[in-house]
A and B are shown apart, each in its own frame.
Chain A
Amino acid sequence: MYLLSTFLCAYAGFAALCAITARNVPLAWTTPPSRRVVRGLRVAGYFLLALSWIPCYLQWDVPMGTAAWAMNLAASGFALVFPFAYAPKRSVQAGGVAALLAGLVLLVS
């Protein structure tokens, strides 16, 4: 369950960063986001990526947890990038749901 929480949290972080990447803005947004939104998503993205380390730590402790976190970042990145090519808006919006679910899963773990 901790691993699922990590995965969802990292997905949410990547989705926030993906949505504000210059190349992806026209794909992910109907109207371009304001600077404030971009800054907010950037901070949220990096914060969520860092936060996704915590469930790994809770499951495995620092050395093993860090190794698992690095691999999990790759897995959640793939889970975002390839679907994004097919359904960009939905993939990014799923990031919000993933962030909520990550918290819920962490609470029940």
Chain B
Amino acid sequence: MEKSLTQRMDWLHTWFGLVLGWLAFALFLTGTIAVFWLEIQHWAQPELHGAKMLSPEATVQYSVDYLQKVAPNSGRWAATLPDLDRHPLLVLNWLDENNAQQFVRLVPDGSGRKVTTVTNGGRFFVDFHWTFNREVADLSGRTFQWTYMLSGFVGMAFLICTITGLIVHKKIFRNFFTFRRQAKSMQTRWLDAHNVLGVLSWPFQFMIVLTGLAFYCYLYIPTGMQMAARSPSPPPVAVIGGGGPGMLWGRYASDAVGSVPRNIVEPGNPAPNVPIVDLFARARAQMGVLSSFTVNNPGRDNATVRFGGTRARPDAITFTSDSMTFDGATGRVISPAGNTTNAVQKITNVFGGLHFAFFGGTAMRVLYFLCGAAGTIMIASGLVMFTAKRRAKAKSVAARRFYDFVDRMNVASVSGAMFACASYLWALRLLPRDLSDPNGGFSGGVYASIRAVPLDQALRTDLELYTFWAAWGVAALHALVRAPQKAWAEQFAAVAALCIGLPALGYLVPNCDIGSMIAAGDWKMVAVDLGALSIGVMLACAAWKMSGKRAEVRASKAVAAPALQTAE
């Protein structure tokens, strides 16, 4: 008998959801955390905590003064300006007398203090979300790489699941507000939770997956890029912050130490230059928030000053790539703002803007976080429902074994991934700062990528990633050897303990305690701690419920009550 459309879609939804749901959960979880990746980056760099930051103009003046002091005769200065609202880190670059690139990370408070904690920070969650922390050798899509192809495949499967989910869910409007928490069947409770989470946040889930896929479609369907590789490519146009034409990624990473282009014009004669801070004010009036400036031949009669607008603006959904160049000696505009972007790039920019959620401020990011969390829990509830629905009906030994395996995999993927993320945050706080490589940085490609090096040679960034993967490995082993019901409760309790303990951990590290940060008004740092704390409390409640202790307490109360009444 031929199956109906609903039955066929049900099969697709179930099996795509199960097999790829294990990975999709981790991708959704890290994607959700990554909404606040710059805040986590700030949280992970204690030097920045509680500092009184300079205004944008004062920061530019401070940068120029610093560069004038350390490299007065340099052929090129460059600065990646801080995002004062989210991650206030100032990165200055210059070419030394041998035309070698030098850089320094500074706290933009005018004190001259350096940021020596080199960390993957929140960027880890972004990069795991699409590369599983494997380095992307070629972001132009000319070579095949399994990492982003796998995440793309999972994304495509999720997109299919969002559509098939609507088809198989027959009574969307009738059951729109239905969550039968006291239903006799465990399957009904999980189904209701899965449906409510999925239906209410459906527009978000569809949008976030579609934009994620569309943004990197040239990587997932690389034929065009491979065809283009056969033709001679145009010379790369390097800009501060990394990335070349068509590469959107590196430009808005505020911790990025971009490569300074080497094609320097011969220096002219010494001549007074227009103050850069004046040019900055003019550029900002035209382009809004600025993220970088580059000065060629500073202090010469052929000096040029280029200002880059920020890639991701708080006041527009779409990414932008505007810039403006001035003659440094006369202040004349050489290249005005308002660059031309082709139609494909414009559409990609909108997809990127929608996916990366840099717009709209903290309130918008809170909404992204909530909807992302809903998607994450929806995937977890779907995974749990798979066995809740089938286990009781399993007749053969093989079927029971398979459902047992699925149960264990569910624990390893859901609570294992959460345990790994929480452990990673502990590593960010506890790993000694002096393990950092002060010269470590990022110039193109992916920042939070894992390297295989012996432990005694590992840097802080390596150890952070090892902690994440080792924690996940331990959780997976635990899930394999422990009865699933107990493993769920124990791992949830462990994650809850790690999250609740995070604010307390700040008291062990200088300049990280939540009390002083509240006093200093550093709400970015405080919010990460309090966010972890509240998630920890929720997970602790879930662990308590899963452990069966709650049921025991209820039962003992029910037994105790009549005994007291009898005594009266």
A residues within 8 Å of B by Cβ?
3, 14, 17-18, 21-24, 59-60, 63-64, 67-68, 70-75, 77-78, 80-82, 84-86
Contacts and interface: CB of A to CB of B under 8 A. Distances in A.
Interface string B163-184: 0000000000011111111100
A39 B85 CA distance: 47
B196 interface: yes
19 contacts: A3-B363, A3-B367, A14-B177, A18-B176, A23-B175, A23-B177, A24-B177, A59-B363, A64-B360, A64-B364, A70-B204, A71-B201, A74-B374, A77-B196, A78-B196, A78-B374, A81-B177, A81-B179, A81-B200
Contacts of A68: 360, 363-364, 367
A71 B359 contact: no
A84 B177 contact: yes
A67 B349 CA distance: 16
Given A64-B359, A80-B177, 4 more contacts: A23-B174, A67-B317, A68-B363, A74-B371
Pick from A70, A78, A84, A86 the residue with the most CB of B within 10 Å: A78
A94 to B, nearest CB: 14
Contacts of B176: 17-18, 21
A72 B368 CA distance: 9
B418 interface: no
A59 B370 CA distance: 19
A52 to B, nearest CB: 13
B203 interface: yes
Contacts of B200: 73-74, 77-78, 81
Nearest to A91: B177
A67 B354 contact: yes
B197 to A, nearest CB: 8
A50 to B, nearest CB: 15
Contact of B360 (A21, A60, A73, A84): A60
Contacts of A75: 367, 370-371
A90 to B, nearest CB: 15
Nearest to B366: A3
Interface of B: 174-182, 196-197, 200-201, 203-204, 207, 316-317, 354, 359-360, 363-364, 367-368, 370-371, 374
B353 to A, nearest CB: 10
Pick from B367, B368, B374 the residue with the most CB of A within 10 Å: B367
Nearest to B357: A67
Given A60-B360, A64-B364, A86-B181, A71 B174 contact: no
Given A74-B200, A74-B201, A23 B364 contact: no
Say whether chain A's binding surface is mostly helix, strand, loop, or mixed.
helix
Contacts of A59: 363
A48 B352 CA distance: 32
Pick from A67, A68, A72, A80 the residue with the most CB of B within 10 Å: A67
A78 B359 CA distance: 24
A3 B367 CA distance: 10
Nearest to B171: A23
A30 B409 CA distance: 46
A18 B364 contact: no
B212 to A, nearest CB: 15
Given A64-B360, A75-B371, A81-B196, A21 B177 contact: yes
Nearest to B197: A78
Contact of A71 (B179, B180, B196, B370): B370
B368 A63 contact: no
A71 B178 contact: no
Contacts of B367: 3, 68, 71-72, 75
Contacts of A71: 201, 204, 367-368, 370-371
A80 B200 CA distance: 11
Contact of A64 (B178, B179, B317): B317
Contacts of A85: 179-182
B359 A70 contact: no
A14 to B, nearest CB: 7
Contacts of A70: 203-204, 207
Pick from A3, A22, A23, A71 the residue with the most CB of B within 10 Å: A71
A75 B366 CA distance: 10
Contacts of A78: 196-197, 200-201, 370, 374
Contacts of B368: 71
B317 A63 contact: yes
A74 B177 contact: no
A71 B196 CA distance: 14
A54 to B, nearest CB: 16
B374 to A, nearest CB: 6
Lowest 6 A-B CB distances belong to which pairs? A71-B367, A77-B200, A74-B201, A18-B177, A85-B181, A85-B179
Pick from B203, B354, B364 the residue with the most CB of A within 10 Å: B364
A85 B192 CA distance: 11
Nearest to A1: B363
A80 B179 CA distance: 11
B174 A74 contact: no
A39 to B, nearest CB: 17
A86 B177 CA distance: 13
A75 B364 CA distance: 12
A45 B537 CA distance: 34
A11 to B, nearest CB: 12
Given A23-B174, A64-B359, A74-B200, A82 B179 contact: yes
B534 to A, nearest CB: 16
B229 to A, nearest CB: 36
A90 B359 CA distance: 36
A78 B192 CA distance: 12
Contacts of A80: 177
B388 to A, nearest CB: 18
B545 to A, nearest CB: 14
A99 to B, nearest CB: 17
B184 to A, nearest CB: 15
Contacts of B316: 64
A78 B377 CA distance: 12
Contacts of A63: 317
